[in-house]
Structure 1
Amino acid sequence: MPIVIAISGKRKSGKDYCTNLIREVLVQKRFDVSVAGISHSLKMEFAKKHGLKYEELLTDGPYKELYRKDMIQWGEEARCKDSGLFCRAAISSTMDSDIVIISDCRRRTDYEYFSANYRTVTIRIETSEEDRKQRGYQFVEGVDDAESECGLDDYKFNLVIKNQSGTDLSQQLNMVTEKISRIIDKLKLPINKE
């Protein structure tokens, strides 16, 4: 059973960027690491249901923004019926990995699912609103004030990474890998270190 690194953060905080950096550091340490996203399974089902371009919904471009509110509403309705639906779909293809990074947790139910079923490290990516705006963020009513963006604002995370202009991420990434290494040592897990 993999260790799960569950990452959250506001839009344009750099979740994907930090996920990739964390993955690179862990791979360099010879861990078998997979990355999965809760939103990918949601977007796939949403695209099928509405005849949309799945690949375009995965991008950070304007196509996704056209459908963001509708996807959020549709996803909320699906989660009301089964809160672990998209979490299960996200991790299902990565079970052979030692470590799975879930790059886009947005709700308490996401963390509840992973914490109940896996050894989980929760990480919050934070940045200033000014940095977010420089990355293209603009407040959208019904999106940025919805649970998908605000549901974890007061959650107590295991680690917080500050992804801001002028901040060196290397020390913060070392904290992540040290924590993962301690968990592995504590659990005496066989890790694929060749």
Structure 2
Amino acid sequence: MSTMSPKCILIFSGKRKCGKDFVTDLLFQRVGLENCALLKLSGPIKKKWAEANNLDFAKLMDSSEYKEIYRAEMNKYGEEMRNKDYGYFCRASIEMYEAEKKAVWIISDARRKTDLKWFKERYDGIVKTIRVQANDEVRKSRGWTYTSGVDDAETECGLDTEETWDWVIQNDGSGTQLDDKLNEIIQWTQENLK
């Protein structure tokens, strides 16, 4: 399949255990797998970390406790790379997930203002940002425990002050609100695919 320019890019952000993966997986299925690439900016970080340290890449990518053991070290590595080149993992994820073959890009895990900046600089006019939120009690019920050095680091707090979200999804378990927001996002996506 040949390469193409994306027609719309949806960038999601949110705290640990807010349900970003759940929401983006649901959207990915609804938009249509043939049109869509689901990118995880953390994918290249975890892949390189797994290779360098002889770890299980698949386990680093899931929501298990396995990745929590290595989270702080991976975050440090990711910060070092971003300080050298803030677009490094954005480009690496596009390549890793072969996004250039798809019209719709869903980025499931933006964590910094530079993540948003990089995509907006290159794809102005086709980028929408979405913040996924859940209250702390819901996050705890999903396995979240506050961890110093992780939950107070830029990887969790870098977008807390961002106020320009195109959509905010409160993901506390109410399907109606989630469905309404996803329908709005899908409608925007379909309009851009015309």
Give yes or no for TM over 0.5: yes
Q: Is the 8 A contact 1:31 1:98 kept in 2?
A: no
Structure 1 counterpart of 2:136: 129
Following TM superposition, by how much is the alpha carbon of 1:183 offset from its aligned partner in structure 2, in angstroms?
3.5
Does structure 1 residue 148 correspond to structure 2 residue 155?
Answer: yes
Structure 2 counterpart of 1:164: 172
Instruction: For residues 80-135 of structure 1, give each alpha carbon's deviation from its aligned partner in whole angstroms, at most 9, with x where no partner exists.
Output: 01111111011121111010111111111111111111221111111111110100
Of stretches 156-165 and 146-155 in structure 1, the one that deviates more from structure 2 is 156-165
Q: Is the 8 A contact 1:4 1:120 kept in 2?
A: yes
Q: Please, which runs of 5 or more residues in structure 2 have no aligned partner?
A: none
Structure 1 counterpart of 2:120: 115
Q: Is the 8 A contact 1:9 1:106 kept in 2?
A: yes
Q: Please, which runs of 5 or more residues in structure 1 have no aligned partner?
A: 186-194
Structure 1 counterpart of 2:103: 98
Following TM superposition, by how much is the alpha carbon of 1:184 offset from its aligned partner in structure 2, in angstroms?
3.8
Does structure 1 residue 78 correspond to structure 2 residue 81?
Answer: yes
Residue aligned with 2:110, SS: coil
Q: Which 4+ stretches in 1 moved above 4 angstroms?
A: none
Tell me which amino acid in the other structure corresponds to 1:11. R
Q: TM-score, normalised by structure 1?
A: 0.89
Q: TM-score, normalised by structure 2?
A: 0.89
- In structure 1, distance between residues paired with 2:63 and 2:101: 29
Identity %: 38
Residue aligned with 1:95, SS: helix
Structure 2 counterpart of 1:173: 182
Does structure 1 residue 16 correspond to structure 2 residue 25?
Answer: no
Q: Is the 8 A contact 2:133 2:168 kept in 1?
A: yes
After superposition, the CA RMSD in angstroms is 1.4
Following TM superposition, by how much is the alpha carbon of 1:161 offset from its aligned partner in structure 2, in angstroms?
1.0
- In structure 2, distance between residues paired with 1:69 and 1:123: 25
> Superposition pairs for residues 41-60 of structure 1, below 5 Å?
41-60=44-63
Following TM superposition, by how much is the alpha carbon of 1:180 offset from its aligned partner in structure 2, in angstroms?
2.0
- In structure 2, distance between residues paired with 1:165 and 1:63: 25
